[in-house]
Amino acid sequence: MPDYFQSLDSRIRDFYFKVRGSEKVSDDIVIIDIDEKSLKVLGQWPWERDKVARILQNLSDNDAGIIGLDIIFSEADKTSPKNIAKKFKLKMRNLPDYDEILARVISQTPTILGYVFDFHSINNQEAPQIPAIFIQKHKSGEFLPKATGVTSNIKIIQDSSYSSGFMNNIPDNSGIIRSVPMFINYDMEIYPALAFEMYRIAVNSHKVILNYSNIGIDDVVLNGQHIRSDRFGKLYLNFRGPFRSYKYISAVDIFNNTVDKSLIEGKFVLIGTSAYGLMDLRSTPMDSVIAGVEIHANMLDNLLHNDMLYKPTWIESLDLLIIFIIVFIVLFIFSRLSLVYLLLAYSTLFVMIVWFNYYMLFNKFIILNTLFPIFSMIFSLIAILGIDYMFEQRQKQIIKNSFAKKVSKQVMEDLLIHPEATDLSAREENVTMYFSDIRSFTTISENLHSASRVMDFLNFYMNAMVVPIERSNGTIDKFIGDAVMAYWNAPLKVKNHADKAVQTALEQISMRDEINIVIHKEFGFDVDFGIGINTANVLVGEIGSDGRSDYTVVGDGVNLASRLEGLCKPYKVRLVISEFTKELLQEEYVTQLLDIVRVKGKHEPVKIYEVLSLGKSNNEKEKELVKYNKAHDLYLNARFEDAQVVFNELSHSYGKYLYEMYASRCEHLKGENLDEFDGIFEFITK
């Protein structure tokens, strides 16, 4: 199923969870929470590892059944007295080593360590050894998620534990965690999830069997228990409830050993964090914000009760059969009914579909597709009542809904008055595309400490950035987190659209200081951003599926505009345009050639420019640009020594990073044996 439809179908199931409400959680699971209270008493994270050791020891002394750590100790403890003495070359003996203390406690307690797999970067770090045998029966292909790297604990700590499991909780495309991988393939070996490994050890099973069919994994067998999964080895979680459904105990209370032993004795203990500043928060169907450690708790609970949700390998066939039955009923029976009986029949059918899917989900634990049966019913009804008539009557409303928040008021009014002037179907058009992005947004988010504060900041910033775009008849395509995508010359023609885009960007840059006065006063920091602009022939129009479409632009030129925004960082400028945009500019601007580059994903090189200002340059700036162009010509002709001299002079006189960068590049190239130098700089990353 396409990602969008999969996401929408998943959201319908999320609604089922909301209707069902919370269920009783396992009393055998408890979460030790590194919460705000613990951080206030024991200090900021990461703590000295002797503190963690004390928590583990106190848990063990209170007869915890098995302890799972949703934490990684990937670096040595720099606060350890032994490491401090070593750093400052102090000749002191018998100083405690906190890593050794923690390792010793782990070796003496039922502690299972956590680690994280990476799917984007490659490293040669060795994954932990697992004391279990994984048997793959009838395997016909590779279906498990395949990792390219791993971040594990330091060796002294990792080697001290009996076992460990990965902590990866991978959200789907909508950003919500609905399923978790039970296993991950790394370096031709199978590794289990933390919760699964805790459960395996608890049931004392040394063998895990993965039964395959031709299209993937059928099920997983552990001590005779058949654990249901999808064909990729993912476990669909039967969530018990919202955040804090399980018993939470503050870590500082365990540290001080002030907790009733009965709360710990014989329990599965998971140690994690709910503190917002530590950024281990996730979204689930039951709650938009939940501690990551509670995901492991839900998985463990499902394994204990064997009531996880699952998609059998034959489920697609059943989904198709249901759809065919619905279409048959609608077209051959309902079409003969009067309007009153037709609406009654449709209402009954809709309730039956929803009830049947709800029943199968929470009584048989089988995930059926809800979206397509409902879609088939709805579209059949539309066919009966007359698709052409309905679309004709609602034409203006469709246009208004599609563009009300995307285009300027002037464009909106033109569309409503003359809807025939704009063809919303996909077509090729010469468009100027714009991307802007906030610099260091991750750091900003962390410093704000609150999701509501982040939203307040983004709303103020976006409002300020959008006004110049709408004023110049630009179309807002979308907000991508902290980024803005816009374009000119669609859906209506915009004269001199390249100029409009560039002048809008210059206006936004000139507004920066004014915006920062308010932001600094309200949020305590200054904001900076980068803008990329490109003009190209792209596909523009309503693009999407039958169930959902969007008016947007698609094509290689859009990707280039996005890449140009990213190039603001390496060249330390705020506005980068392509040579294609520069060629279409009608007004006079002060521009500076930055480079000839080949961006990731494109074979053809492109000249990129910084737009310094609107109008003519002054004598000093003209002198600077003439000297720079001379140096750049020397560089392109591979006369690196001569070019370096001029670039160094420019850097000394004007202090611009671009000149320093080229001087450094010339220094590097002087020692290279270049038979053919084309001056093209290739970016291998986005």
What is the average pLDDT across 403-414?
53
**Which residues have C-beta within 8 Å of that of residue 342, sequence separation ≥ 6?**
334, 381, 384
Q: Under 8 Å CB-to-CB from 476, ≥6 apart: which residues? A: 405, 406, 407, 466, 469, 470, 484, 485, 486
Give the side-chain half-sphere CA count within 13 A for 192.
29
Looking at residue 524, its amino acid is G
DSSP 221-264: EETTEEEE--TTSEEEP----STT-SEEEEHHHHHTT-S-GGGT
**Mean pLDDT across 515-539:** 93
Q: What share of the chain in percent tops pLDDT 90?
A: 58
Q: Which helix (H) or strand (E) holds 659?
A: helix 657-670
State the average pLDDT over residues 238-248: 95
Give the pLDDT confidence of 255-313 residue by residue, as tens digits: 999 999 999 999 999 999 998 878 788 999 999 899 999 999 999 999 999 999 988 77
The topology (CATH level 3) of 398-616 is Alpha-Beta Plaits (3.30.70)
* Count of other CB atoms within 10 angstroms of residue 593: 16
The whole-number pLDDT of residue 173 equals 81
pLDDT digits (tens, 9 = 90+) for 610-633: 999 998 888 899 999 999 999 999
Half-sphere exposure of 211 (CA within 13 A, CB side): 13
pLDDT in tens, 464-484: 999 999 899 998 888 888 899
- Within 10 Å of residue 21's Cβ, how many Cβ atoms? 9
φ, ψ for residue 523 (rounded to 5)? -120, -10
With tokens 């932001």, the residue in question is 519
pTM for the complete prediction? Answer: 0.55
HEC assignment per residue over 265-276? ECCEEEEECCCH
Percent of the chain at pLDDT above 70? 91
Angle, CA 400 vertex, CA 394 and CA 405 arms, to 5°: 155
DSSP state of 366: B
pLDDT value of position 339: 64
Per-residue pLDDT, 388: 46
Which range (171-180, 545-554, 560-569) has the least confidence?
Answer: 545-554
Span 68-97, average pLDDT: 87
How is residue 507 written in tokens? 């206006």
Mean pLDDT value of segment 595-605: 87
Average pLDDT value for residue range 40-54: 94
Residue 150: which of 164, 136, 161 has the closest Cα? 164
Q: How far apart are CA 639 and CA 268, in angstroms?
A: 69
Contact 475, 488 (CB under 8 A): yes
Taking all residues of the chain, what is their mean pLDDT, rounded to a whole number? 87
pLDDT average, residue stretch 199-218: 91
Tokens of residue 131, six digits: 């004391």
CA angle (64, 183, 206) in 5-degree steps = 55
Tell which wins on pLDDT, 673 or 362: 362
Position 1 pLDDT exceeds 60:
no
Distance CA 149, CA 122 (A): 5
- What pLDDT shows up at residue 5? 67
Helix axes 339-363, 315-332, angle to 10 degrees: 170
542, containing H or E segment = strand 529-544
- Please tell me the predicted confidence (pLDDT) of residue 387: 47
Length of the chain: 686
